[in-house]
Amino acid sequence: MIELTAAQVAAATGGRLHADPDVTVTGAVIIDSRQAAPGALFVALPGERVDGHDFAARAVSAGATLVLAARELDGLPTVVVDDPQEALGELARYVLATVREGGDGWPKVVGVTGSVGKTTTKDLLGQLLTPEVSGEDAIIVPTGSFNNEIGLPLTVLRVTRDTRYLIAEMGADRIGNIAYLTRIAPPNVGVVLAVGVAHVGHFGSVEAIAKTKAEMVSGVVDGGSVVLNADDLRVAAMAGQVAPGTALRTFGTIPSADVRAEDISVDATGRASFTLRVAASVAPSTAETADDGEQRADVALQLVGPHHVSNALAAATVALRLGVPVADVAQRLTEATARSPHRMAVTERPDGVTVIDDAYNANPDSMKAALRTLAVMAGRTRRSVAVLGEMRELGEGARVAHDEIGRLVVRLNIKQLVVVGDGAYHIHEGAMQEGSWGSETIFVPDLPAARSLLDESLESGDVVLVKSSLGSGLWELGDHLSMAQTNKDNNK
């Protein structure tokens, strides 16, 4: 973060200063006292299990020079605010605005939202744009999903005066979330990937989800750009909300998309290849421009799953808008790798078992995409095993959604289904109703039972998918299965 005095932090957050006004924050902004280092600013957030205020003294003893808190803390340099989380957002907004004002509009912010694909698109964008800049702080791409009212401000607060690009993932589980995040970090380029049923239990309807994702369209800076998925009808309809003076770019597989994929093929490892076609209105003329004004280039993704074609197109559209040539975009997409954990991470174990760990999150759309990828990778010669947990925050439609997943498992001819936990039981029930019987579908109550079952039953040649919402905890099983053979060999 840029250097700030305690007085500046208080002014930015509307807080009351209980510290020397000249005390200076020179390090990172943190919410975990274990990350404290000299010059840090510790934000004392109240949590469900612990209260950050109880750890403020530890953070200061480790070097933090200032605490942002909801109450005065005896003997500690503190800025007292009504709501530390809200103040965190205000501080991030202030820092970004200050840097932009002094940097002639830099850094450029790319905001990415959508019911699926945000993290992968963000990671791809980082790999497309990193070669365009130099320096440790020149581009900020958070690892994982720092996409909420806490994660987004923490990401923004990493900005320095050397930052050129900030790739910001923006998630939502309620109307107004995206509007709030775009007020903190107004995007130069705002991307909407898809409208699905993730968090529909909070939103109440898909229409409410679409309304929330559309907040990205109105959140971009004046004269900015909006990038929309032309293949998603609800997203495409947001074009009507793009303000005059804001550029609109679309991506997809339909012919009218500005940036599109044609001749898509998927190999036996589940990786997609396609021809990237860029309309003349999007890419400047070069020697490679075709007679129709288009530019074309071949892309072979290393990411596992054909659904990543859409994410790649979104990232490509943004990079093109920011001036990266078509040929470089195609080459960098081909070289790009998975950067965030538990997202279609493939491990080839020494014993011949292939593990696909996609257990960071799950909703009906991403679950279906992962299962189809499993079927492709297993093909006709390997045994496919789907280990599935609960998809959370689906509201009243949860039972039907889980039942549909179970039925899809049968239709895709997945050989073995293991359903973990009561919240996912209706996946097991749906599979049985669709025609599975005997040991083709197995329900186990918890992670230890699933671990024991799989350790005993997996055989060389099996392809195993592990997928659930993060709160279901199957990411622990993904880690275990990915390391199982190595651990077994080390214990011999």
Residue ranges for the known binding site are 114-120
Give the tokens for residue 44. Answer: 């004392």
The CA distance from 354 to 465, in Å, is 9
Residue of 304, 316, 313, 345 whose CA lies nearest to 144 = 345
Distance, CA of 395 to CA of 202 (rounded, Å):
7
Task: Work out the number of other CB atoms within 10 angstroms of the CB of residue 78.
Answer: 27
Beta bridge partner(s), residue 80:
16, 69
Is residue 183 within a helix (H) or strand (E), and if so which, with residue range? helix 177-184
CA angle at residue 469 from 371 to 340, to 5 degrees? 80
Closest CA to 420 of 458, 396, 386: 386
CA–CA distance, 477 with 60 (Å, rounded to integer): 37
What residue type is assigned to position 35 of the chain?
A: Q
Give the C-alpha separation, 360 to 470, whole Å: 5
Give the Cβ contact number of residue 169 at 10 Å: 28
Q: By three-state DSSP, how is residue 185 classified? A: coil
Cβ(30)–Cβ(52) under 8 Å?
no
Q: Closest by alpha carbon to 405, among 360, 356, 364?
A: 364
Q: Are 76 and 51 in contact (CB under 8 A)?
A: no
The alpha carbons of the chain give a radius of gyration, in whole angstroms, of 24
Q: Collect all residues with Cβ–Cβ distance below 8 Å to 137 and sequence separation of at least 6.
A: 158, 159, 160, 162, 163
3-state secondary structure of 347: strand
List binding-site positions for ATP. Answer: 114-120
- The half-sphere exposure of 427 on its side-chain side, counting CA atoms within 13 A, is 30
SS3 (DSSP) at 303: strand
Q: Please, are residues 125 and 336 in contact by the beta-carbon 8 Å criterion?
A: no
